């Protein structure tokens, strides 16, 4: 079977969904579900530390779990562009705006104020099809400011 335009579109949609799912799970602090979006050998460069690679799911998960529980985040993802390389590989780039603030009440999740100015940034992704769907094999984030 040939690799046609419809397959390109479907792969692009799946990869874009993966990028948006990452933002939601990150903001919801559902790190156990978030780590499932990565391949076992994935590399993550967080926007807050773009020169420091986190290699493997264990290191990535530990990094997320170390985040302060009293900080709430909101990642806005836009301008997602996916380039399909073949049936099992794609690259993507996207823009983010991060809002964050201290939680005033951990039970209700109410945020008193946004404690930092909005932080624009980008992600550059390498995506791979696995037996469990599309996953990040590499995610490079950086802030513009």
- What residue spans define the domains of the chain? 5-143
How big is the chain, counted in residues?
Answer: 145
- The tens digit of pLDDT for each residue in 44-64 reads 999 989 999 999 999 999 999
- The tens digit of pLDDT for each residue in 82-124 reads 999 999 999 999 999 998 887 666 566 565 555 678 899 999 9
Measured CA to CA, the distance from residue 130 to residue 105 in angstroms comes to 40
CATH architecture assigned to 5-143: Roll (3.10)
The alpha carbon of 24 is separated from its chain's Cα centroid by a whole number of angstroms, namely: 9
Check pLDDT > 90 for residue 16: yes
The alpha carbon of 82 is separated from its chain's Cα centroid by a whole number of angstroms, namely: 14
Measured CA to CA, the distance from residue 129 to residue 12 in angstroms comes to 12
- Name the pTM for this structure: 0.88
Measured CA to CA, the distance from residue 35 to residue 47 in angstroms comes to 17
Q: What is the largest CA-CA distance in the chain?
A: 56
Phi first, then psi: give them for residue 30, nearest 5 degrees: -95, 70
Place of tokens 């979006």: 37
């Amino acid at each position: 079977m040939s690799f046609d335009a419809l397959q390109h579109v479907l792969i692009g949609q799946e990869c874009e969904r993966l990028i948006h799912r990452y933002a939601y799970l990150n903001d919801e602090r559902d790190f156990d579900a978030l780590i499932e979006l990565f391949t076992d050998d994935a590399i993550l460069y967080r926007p807050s530390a773009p020169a420091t690679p986190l290699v493997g799911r264990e290191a990535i998960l530990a990094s997320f779990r170390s985040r302060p529980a009293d900080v709430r985040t909101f990642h806005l993802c836009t301008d997602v562009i996916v380039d399909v390389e073949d049936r099992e590989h794609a690259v993507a780039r996207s823009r983010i705006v991060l809002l964050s603030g201290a939680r005033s009440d951990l039970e209700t999740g109410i945020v008193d104020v946004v404690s930092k100015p909005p932080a624009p940034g980008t992600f550059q992704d390498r995506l791979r099809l696995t037996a469990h769907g599309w996953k990040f094999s590499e995610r490079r984030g950086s802030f513009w400011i």
